[in-house]
A and B are shown apart, each in its own frame.
Chain A
Amino acid sequence: MENGIVLTMRGISISFPGVKALDRVDFTLRQGEIHALMGENGAGKSTLIKVLTGVYARDEGTIELDGVPGTVTIHSPQEAQKLGISTVYQEITLCPNLTVAENLYIGRQKGVSVPWKKMNRDAAALLDSLGIPARPRQMLSSCSLAVQQMVAIARAVDTQCKVLILDEPTSSLDEKEVEMLFKLMRDLKARGVGIIFVTHFLEQVYEVSDRITVLRNGQLVGEYETASLPQVELVSKMMGKELEGLSQVSASQDEEAEQAEVLYQAEGLSSSESKPFDFRIHKGEVNGFTGLLGSGRSECVRAIFAADRVTGGKVIMDGKVVRITKPIKAMKNGIGYLPEDRKRDGIIADLSVRENIILALQVMKGFFRPFSRKAAEAFADEYIKALDIKTASSDTPVGSLSGGNQQKVILARWLLTHPKYLILDEPTRGIDIGTKTEIQRLVLDLSREEGMSITFISSEIEEMLRTCSRLIVMRDRHIVGELKGSQLTQDQVMYTIAGGGNERAD
């Protein structure tokens, strides 16, 4: 093996029913480097990590580890750990009700009793050496998320790991906490640990990483030196569009929508999860929040629907000031919301397709006025047909449908309520290309023919350009620009996202 290389993955392929999740992907990690693994949703980042940690078995390809002869096959996370591959996940996999020291050493001590004194001493030394601001005897739950994250890293490092995988470690941390984490990462790098850093925050990548590997749609786009790859180019590589020779998307955006009256307007709206922002949408307009994952775009639309606790701001709908504090109030005002996390917030998995479709309309109609079975079936059948939902019958539990069809069921749920304003957060995520186009076409039809206002969020820039006549660009939880008309080009969007400057930085 070449000197200084700790991990080589060659030609890794893996398939799931219907999808090729990874297609001959190569990945190389050197000693003492921070290597960012980048890609939008469905690019295959987490699949690659899971192959490396033994959660998935690869179909093809080889993995070579420094100090281990031949190719290795990893069967379980425990085995990965033994080989020196440790992972720290975004969701902290420690026990909040134990002390910091216990979390560092539980499950890997010998003997019957807990040597508290020695354990606390060792923990103090370890925490000190890594500069982690935690006390060994402190309950883990009393630490901030960042410190918990760092404790998890300390545990991983203490097992003599050669490869440390950090899977989205910064997504729930604030700037100061991120700084602390980066300092720790640089320390570890100096000790020769190879770090794989999975993230979607561009600036963090440039701040801390040495090298970037970009994946897209399960394929390797390339490996680059961070210093020699401009941010805009990285964005374009992630999104799969070359900067040069971009076909201009026809600016056939309905300018008249701008003239139509404002349907919904928010001033300084904020929620427990989002910072105050202004927003408006016109009748029959399709607009969108864009920005990378975690930029705060979902939190904004959740605030509009009152999915999170609304903490302030003024909302005007149809010229009247309304107070939307609960989802039911938003629904009564004619707002529909297709949530980003389909499994957690969208489908009610064990209920039938029919019940899932009629749910929102049923709730609006009232507790004492259930639809007759016949009416419910008629609604369900109408939308199963209209949206071409592939299901054995309307009685099938929605959880047994494919992702795309589950999404259509939720879409049907909201279309059935005939909303004036429909919010679609990542409606096309993780679904096949055919369904994607169907949903895009549907969005345009609804706005043009029925005059519905729609806010559309997607990680795929192309999709946004094709459907939206106005884009609100977000970065790091702030609105950094608004693009419309001739500004709606891939270049412009990418420049704005990458912080390349737009005249309307807020």
Chain B
Amino acid sequence: MTVKATRSRREPLSNSTLLMLVAIGFFVLLYILSLLFLGAGFKRPSRVFDILNDNAYLIIIGCGLSIVMITGSIDISVGGIVGLIAMFGALFLRDELLPIPGMAPGLRIAMLVVISVAIGLAFGALHGALVAYLDIQPFIVTLAGMFLARGMTTMLSGENKQLLTGSPVLEILSKRIDIPWLGYDEVNKIRHTVTHVPAHFEFVIIAALLTVVAVAILLHKSKLGRNFYAVGGNRQSALMLGVNVRRTRFLAHLISGLLAGIAGFVYLWHNKSGNIGGASAAEMQAIASSIIGGTLLTGGVGNVVGTLFGVLILALIKPIVTDASALKGFEWLSKAWWQQIFNGAVLCFFIVLQSVVLRFRSTLRVRKSEREETVSG
């Protein structure tokens, strides 16, 4: 072993990158197969936009969960927080909560954004304080947080669903960019007709992608981001290396809460309604997405680009199953349960794959070093 020219050599893939590449590859493969076998729906670019529109809030909380999981913690309250903020926001924008007469709708929305962020930060701070400074198990803490958020949601509203219909803000929130040349027309096959449906680009996509970029930069470029990895990799070592472990864990939960707050607003923005049980089990879907994207619950390993693709993989399953059920011989797929079952199967595949890959790689490394030893000796 000499130092010489090895420096310029490219580093072998880290586990996280490898698992992320598997996820991206899986997504691409899934999409190509869908293009080949499932026909029209997947050929439309608008499908991609639909998937992104529908799952924007999931991408955002997925980013938060990735941070928390990288730090070796967990946050299962985020779905509850999203539901709470969506419900609060629906009532708030209809002037039923904290009405301020004569307030411009735009200002009202801006105020809601601030309140959403504040609610999210409050939950995050509560979780972070209990987990980091009182050493309580994150699972229990955030479970209580979820109960709290869900309970408050039902307290806010007697109705199951609160729509924004008729509210002056609806017009603003409904703004989106229609891209005709990416649209489609089933009937006339040409543009500029009544039956033409353009591709919808909602602004929630920008929010989601901005979050991914911001969190990616945070994780990779900032000291705090690297501290997340250090604490998740080995908490004791991180402490010895001079990392403020408690503050790092607190901030992870705080950021997760913040992103849940933003996701709550995004959820309302896209759905134009808040409902009881809204975004239910979103936390589990976000955890699943993070895992598929190569983030480990044991901590220290993960990245948000993988999480983005994790969300997209799970999001693809619905249209695939729907479109496939239209094929001859696959009518049975139209039953409502298949979608979730495939969801579970994909998740199972990735979880087992991770376990096998990690173990295989570690034994490989041991063997390799043993081999080197025998060669040199």
Contacts and interface: CB of A to CB of B under 8 A. Distances in A.
A–B in direct contact per CB < 8 Å? yes
Interface of A: 77-78, 92-98, 102-103, 106-109, 111-114, 116, 124, 127-128, 131-133, 135-139, 142, 144, 174-176, 180
Interface string B353-376: 000000000000100010001001
B51 to A, nearest CB: 32
Nearest to A107: B242
B7 A114 contact: no
Interface in B219-242: 220-227, 229-230, 232-234, 236-238, 240-242
A400 B373 CA distance: 44
Nearest to B6: A135
Q: Which one of B7, B12, B224, B376 has the highest number of Cβ atoms from chain A below 10 Å of its Cβ?
A: B7
B376 A97 contact: no
A113 B222 CA distance: 4
Interface residues of B, number: 36
Contact of B242 (A96, A106, A142, A144): A106
B242 A98 contact: no
Given A135-B9, A139-B11, A95 B234 contact: yes
14 contacts: A95-B238, A97-B14, A97-B234, A106-B227, A106-B230, A106-B241, A107-B243, A114-B221, A114-B223, A133-B1, A135-B6, A135-B9, A139-B14, A180-B1
Contact of A98 (B6, B221, B230): B230
B376 A98 contact: no
Given A95-B238, A97-B232, A106-B226, A135 B11 contact: yes
Contacts of B14: 97, 139
Contacts of A78: 242
A68 B1 CA distance: 41
B7 A95 contact: no
Nearest to B222: A113
B226 A114 contact: yes
B282 interface: no
A133 B12 CA distance: 16
B352 interface: no
Given A133-B2, A144-B369, A95 B223 contact: no
A93 B11 contact: no
Interface string B236-254: 1110111100000000000
A109 B242 CA distance: 10
Contacts of B11: 135, 137-139
Contacts of B220: 114
B77 to A, nearest CB: 26
- 9 interchain residue pairs of minimum CB distance: A107-B242, A97-B233, A97-B300, A95-B233, A107-B241, A93-B240, A133-B1, A93-B237, A95-B230
Contacts of A106: 226-227, 230, 238, 241-243
B100 interface: no
Nearest to A135: B7
A93 B243 CA distance: 12
Contacts of A107: 227, 230, 238, 241-243
B242 A131 contact: no
Given A95-B233, A96-B234, A97-B233, A103 B241 contact: yes
Contacts of B238: 95, 106-107
Determine the main DSSP class of B at the interface with A.
Answer: helix
B230 A112 contact: no
A345 to B, nearest CB: 21
B204 interface: no
B223 A131 contact: no
B329 interface: no
Given A95-B229, A113-B221, A176 B242 contact: no
B317 to A, nearest CB: 31
B362 to A, nearest CB: 9
A113 B223 contact: yes
Given A95-B238, A96-B234, A112 B223 contact: yes
Interface string B203-223: 000000000000000001111
Contact of B237 (A94, A111, A124, A131): A94
A95 B300 contact: yes
B3 interface: yes
Given A98-B230, A102-B226, A142 B365 contact: yes
B377 interface: yes
A98 B3 contact: no
A294 to B, nearest CB: 18
Nearest to B296: A97
A499 to B, nearest CB: 20
Nearest to A104: B241
B246 to A, nearest CB: 14
Contacts of B232: 97
Nearest to A95: B233
B377 to A, nearest CB: 7
Given A95-B230, A107-B238, A131-B3, 18 more contacts: A92-B237, A93-B236, A94-B237, A97-B233, A98-B226, A98-B230, A106-B226, A107-B241, A112-B222, A114-B223, A133-B6, A135-B7, A139-B11, A142-B12, A142-B365, A144-B369, A174-B377, A175-B377
B237 A95 contact: yes
Interface string B71-98: 0000000000000000000000000000
Contacts of B221: 113-114, 116
Contacts of B373: 174, 176
Contacts of B229: 95, 97-98
A103 B230 CA distance: 9
Q: Which one of B14, B226, B373 has the highest number of Cβ atoms from chain A below 10 Å of its Cβ?
A: B226
Contacts of B301: 97
Q: Which one of B221, B229, B241, B377 has the highest number of Cβ atoms from chain A below 10 Å of its Cβ?
A: B241
Nearest to B242: A107
A142 B369 CA distance: 10
Interface in B1-25: 1-3, 6-7, 9, 11-12, 14
Contacts of B376: 176
B162 to A, nearest CB: 41
